[in-house]
């Protein structure tokens, strides 16, 4: 590595392999020494290396190294500092973007399995840091699916489960989370002994200590005896059972247990708001708001299920005369159900913003409330003081989830199924939109079947993105409930209180 005009290091005369080794060594040394100058050097060399004709695999590896450099910068600037609770975390945001580029780019499949696991595990770690603990679990699960012995993902998932558990208001759920976390930590410690090369084996003691702490605070034997994951009912008919199994496998129940189990016990939408206080005589407005959000989600979920399984033409489509435009788009009630599921899922986010504006008394004018603008002052630049000063982890998760949907920089580097969600919604609501049954038509521009105006997408891709949107809506609703729980725990409860009893709205009352 030479210096160019005395300005700093460069990669002249080094092969690609040597360049990668130098950058990797610099990042490791920077982390060991806490040296931000070495971090700057490593990032500058990465920029130089990217100018070469690199393979997709090399580009993915370069993003991974860059993310590690930004992780070192974060540790030096924010670790054990009050700024670690800032809602805006530029260093973590950079890691998130780079790791997503590596995980979802064309070079990921060519990477060695261990490197794939490292990318996914680190991505999960950063999502968890930002309060998106539900999406983080999916990353760790993906790493474990690649290599079931990759104990770093197992241990990090377990530790995160306990942070999730602490955010819950249901003590029974908290016990189940502790039980799963303890089992996973014990598994990780055992795997370290047999597979020490998959990470830093010195972490074994740390994981063991964490497992012992859980065992001291929870009666794990009693939890194991009482926990019956298969005890729930999946429904009265085969159709209902098939629907609920689909919801479980895609983690679509409004139930935190669905994040640790895909068993019948999690097949109920039991998530509600925590206990909260209001002024005497004030109606339970937020409960009504949350009722609407839950019902919208449940209906969108069912519409997506039905739309993905529509095979025969519905009688409502008979006699609806349409013309063949030669590019064979999909029409019919089944397709419209997919579109309705997408629209209904998307509407949930702005309604969450309306909830936050009312509950947190943010003062946003009602006609200007949306999931993009609710976080900042009217100028759109400065975070609201009520938001920026919060140590509310689930609320921070909601904030960063909003970035995926609405911030251009985040959308451009998010996962493939979420990348075009905002564009899809815009065309679906306001423009010209076509879903094609199989693959997109490959008609030349001068062909009479070429449609230059329509936004086109295959049915498979649309179904996947609609599912992804529904999963994001589920995450947002859980974050909202747990953010309110955090808020209520910190509120002053001096004075006299009178409980308000509310009946459950019975299923047979629903029409």
pLDDT in tens, 376-415: 887 777 889 888 878 999 999 999 999 888 766 555 555 5
Tell me: pLDDT of 2 over 50: no
Cα distance between residue 152 and residue 123, in whole Å: 12
For position 3, what pLDDT does the model report?
A: 42
Confirm if 93 and 358 have CB atoms less than 8 A apart: no
The angle, 0 to 180 degrees and rounded to 10, between the axes of the packed helices 133-146 and 151-167 is 160
Mean pLDDT for 446-452 is: 67
Token pair 């599921």: residue: 341
Mean pLDDT for 453-475 is: 91
User: How confident is the prediction for the chain on average, in pLDDT?
Assistant: 88
What are the two backbone dihedrals, phi and then psi, of residue 120, each rounded to the nearest 5 degrees?
Answer: -65, -40
CA dihedral of 455, 460, 466, 468, whole degrees rounded to 10: -120
Mean pLDDT for 263-291 is: 87
For position 417, what pLDDT does the model report?
A: 59
- 23: CB partners within 8 A, 6+ apart: 42, 45, 46, 49, 62, 65
Mean pLDDT for 452-464 is: 87
Confirm if 290 and 483 have CB atoms less than 8 A apart: no
Cα distance between residue 393 and residue 127, in whole Å: 11
- Cβ burial, residue 407 (10 Å; 0-12/13-18/19+): middle
**Higher per-residue confidence, 103 vs 379:** 103
Under the banding of pLDDT at 50, 70 and 90, the label for residue 207 is very high
Mean pLDDT for 153-166 is: 96
Tell me: pLDDT of 248 over 60: yes
Q: How far is CA 466 from CA 92, 204, 413, 459, in A?
A: 27, 41, 18, 10
Largest CA distance in the chain: 79
- Cβ burial, residue 324 (10 Å; 0-12/13-18/19+): exposed
Cα distance between residue 408 and residue 302, in whole Å: 31
Under the banding of pLDDT at 50, 70 and 90, the label for residue 505 is confident
Euclidean distance between the first and the last CA atom of the chain, given in angstroms as a whole number:
72
Tell me: pLDDT of 66 over 80: yes
Report domain extents, the chain: 1-134, 271-491
Cα distance between residue 50 and residue 443, in whole Å: 35
Tell me: pLDDT of 8 over 70: no
Which 3-state string (H, E, C) describes 135-190? HHHHHHHHHHHHCCCCHHHHHHHHHHHHHHHHHCCCHHHHHHHHHHHHHHHHHHHH
Tell me: pLDDT of 458 over 60: yes
Tell me: pLDDT of 449 over 70: no
Closest by Cα among 173, 181, 190 to 156: 181
Q: Percent of the chain scored above 90 by pLDDT?
A: 64
Closest by Cα among 480, 496, 476, 500 to 488: 480
pLDDT in tens, 309-325: 988 889 998 889 898 88
How many CA atoms within 13 Å lie on the side-chain side of 437? 10
Tell me: pLDDT of 217 over 80: yes
Cα distance between residue 458 and residue 465, in whole Å: 11
Under the banding of pLDDT at 50, 70 and 90, the label for residue 419 is low
Least confident residue range of 170-179, 279-288, 329-338: 279-288
Token pair 């899922």: residue: 345
Cα distance between residue 300 and residue 418, in whole Å: 17
**Higher per-residue confidence, 438 vs 94:** 94
Cα distance between residue 443 and residue 329, in whole Å: 13
Tell me: pLDDT of 4 over 60: no
Q: Percent of the chain scored above 70 by pLDDT?
A: 90
**Higher per-residue confidence, 303 vs 389:** 303
Token pair 């009893």: residue: 501
- Cβ burial, residue 116 (10 Å; 0-12/13-18/19+): buried
Cα distance between residue 158 and residue 170, in whole Å: 19
Q: How far is CA 222 from CA 208, 260, 427, in A?
A: 21, 18, 54
Reading the block at residue 508, the tokens are 């047979």
For position 408, what pLDDT does the model report?
A: 63
Tell me: pLDDT of 473 over 80: yes
DSSP letter for each residue of 96-126: HHHHHHHHHSTTGGGS-HHHHHHHHHHHHHH
For position 406, what pLDDT does the model report?
A: 73
Under the banding of pLDDT at 50, 70 and 90, the label for residue 224 is very high
Mean pLDDT for 459-477 is: 94
Reading the block at residue 202, the tokens are 């010195």
Strand pairing category for 433-436 and 455-458: parallel
Least confident residue range of 46-60, 158-172, 427-441: 427-441
The angle, 0 to 180 degrees and rounded to 10, between the axes of the packed helices 56-78 and 36-50 is 160
Cα distance between residue 112 and residue 114, in whole Å: 6
Mean pLDDT for 16-39 is: 92
Tell me: pLDDT of 455 over 90: no
For position 411, what pLDDT does the model report?
A: 54
């Amino acid at each position: 590595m030479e210096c160019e005009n005395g300005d700093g290091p460069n990669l002249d005369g080094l092969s690609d392999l040597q360049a990668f080794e130098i950058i990797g060594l610099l990042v490791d040394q920077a982390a060991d020494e806490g040296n931000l100058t070495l971090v700057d050097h490593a990032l500058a060399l990465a920029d130089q290396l990217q100018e070469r004709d690199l393979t997709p695999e090399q580009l993915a590896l370069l993003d991974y190294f860059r993310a590690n450099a930004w992780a070192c910068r974060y540790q030096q600037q924010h670790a054990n500092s009050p700024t670690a609770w800032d809602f805006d975390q530029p260093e973590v945001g950079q890691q998130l973007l780079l790791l997503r580029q590596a995980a979802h780019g064309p070079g990921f499949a060519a990477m060695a399995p261990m490197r794939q696991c490292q990318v996914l595990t680190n991505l999960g770690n950063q999502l968890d840091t930002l309060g998106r603990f539900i999406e983080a679990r999916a990353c760790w699960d993906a790493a474990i699916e690649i290599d079931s012995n990759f104990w770093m993902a197992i241990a990090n998932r377990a530790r995160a489960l306990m942070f999730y558990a602490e955010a819950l208001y249901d003590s029974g759920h908290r016990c189940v989370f502790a039980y799963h976390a303890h089992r996973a930590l014990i598994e990780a410690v055992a795997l370290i002994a047999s597979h020490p090369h998959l990470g830093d084996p010195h972490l074994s003691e740390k994981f063991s200590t964490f497992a012992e702490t859980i065992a001291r605070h929870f009666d794990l034997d009693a939890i194991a005896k009482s926990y019956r994951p298969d005890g729930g009912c999946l429904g009265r008919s085969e159709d209902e059972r098939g629907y609920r199994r689909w919801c479980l496998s895609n983690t679509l129940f409004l139930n935190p247990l669905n994040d640790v189990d895909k068993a019948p016990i999690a097949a109920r939408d039991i998530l509600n708001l925590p206990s909260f206080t209001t002024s005497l005589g004030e109606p339970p407005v937020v409960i009504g708001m949350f009722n609407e959000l839950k019902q919208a989600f449940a209906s969108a979920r069912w519409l997506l299920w039905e739309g993905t399984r529509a095979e025969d033409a519905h009688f409502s489509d008979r006699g609806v005369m349409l013309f063949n435009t030669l590019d064979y788009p999909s029409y019919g009630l089944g397709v419209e159900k997919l579109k309705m599921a997408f629209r209904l899922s998307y509407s949930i986010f702005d309604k969450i913003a309306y909830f936050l504006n009312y509950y947190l008394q943010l003062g946003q004018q009602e006609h200007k409330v949306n999931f993009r603008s609710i976080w900042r002052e009217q100028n759109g630049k400065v975070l609201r003081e009520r938001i920026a000063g919060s140590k509310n982890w689930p609320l921070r998760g909601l904030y960063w989830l909003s970035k995926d949907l609405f911030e251009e920089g985040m959308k451009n580097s998010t996962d493939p199924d979420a990348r075009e969600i905002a564009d899809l919604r815009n065309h679906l609501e306001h423009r010209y939109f076509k879903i094609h049954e199989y693959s997109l038509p490959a008609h030349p521009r001068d062909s009479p079947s070429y449609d230059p105006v329509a936004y086109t997408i295959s049915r498979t891709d649309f179904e996947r993105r609609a599912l992804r949107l529904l999963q994001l809506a589920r995450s947002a609703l859980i974050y909202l409930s747990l953010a309110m729980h955090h808020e209520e725990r910190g509120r002053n409860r001096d004075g006299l209180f009178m409980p308000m009893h509310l009946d459950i709205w019975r299923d047979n009352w629903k029409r």
